[in-house]
Amino acid sequence: MPMLGCALQMHLFIALGGAECFLLAVMAYDRFVAICMPLRYTLIVTRVLCQQMLALACVSGFALSLTLTALIFRLPFCQSHEINHFFCDIPAVLFLACSDTRANEIAIFVVCTLILLIPFLLILLSYGFIITAILSIHPAQGRSKAFSTCAGHLLVSLLHYGCAIFIYIRPKSCYSPEQDKIVSLIYTNVTPMLYPMIYSLRNKEVKGALRRFLGSYNQMRQQPKAR
């Protein structure tokens, strides 16, 4: 892969991942308003506000990604250009630099903090208020409905941010190629495959189809085998 192609791959990966981080924070704010201020929800969360937050999340992700990619590919790579990874990821490319990268690591840490830590802390803060509001609901049915509204998003956020923070918020000296490849494989392939399943479990039709499938599967198992 040429150097420009590697830089473009890294830029798009970070940009889309960063936009997802900001969108997860926006979704947490949406749930905070829906549960903590339900009577004012339609006044606060308007279509215009949703469009503005979506545009801000995408622009921020691409702008920070461009900054991060430029910082990394300004470094001299005078050793082997063979990346010990299955795509052009930040730690794998940074490991090949043959100059002092401490200043770049600090800049990368700052950018990753803006993309990962701040949105994640905002999500945790939102869910702190949400849990407090849910616990004040007296009917058990109301609590269950509120928890089911937030459970999918919270699980997706923990999976997404957990893997990303493990990979990117750490110094170069802690880089382990084999460990990073395994975590990156989970981060880029396994968790995105789980997202539709996690979000769809709130859908009554999906729940009904899953129950019918499990019921038919159990009936097939209980049927005597033909001799």
Mean pLDDT rounded to a whole number for the chain: 80
Q: What is the pLDDT of residue 53?
A: 92
Mean pLDDT of 84-88: 78
Structure tokens at 24: 């997860």
Q: What is the pLDDT of residue 52?
A: 93
Q: Regarding the domain delimited by 3-222, which CATH topology (the fold level of the hierarchy) does it fall under? A: Rhopdopsin 7-helix transmembrane proteins (1.20.1070)
Question: Model's pTM, two decimal places?
Answer: 0.77
Mean pLDDT of 176-193: 76
All structural domains of the chain with their residue ranges: 3-222
Long-range contacts of 193-197 (CB under 8 A, 24+ apart): 194/156, 194/159, 195/156
At 116-148, the pLDDT tens digits run 888 999 999 998 888 888 888 776 666 777 777
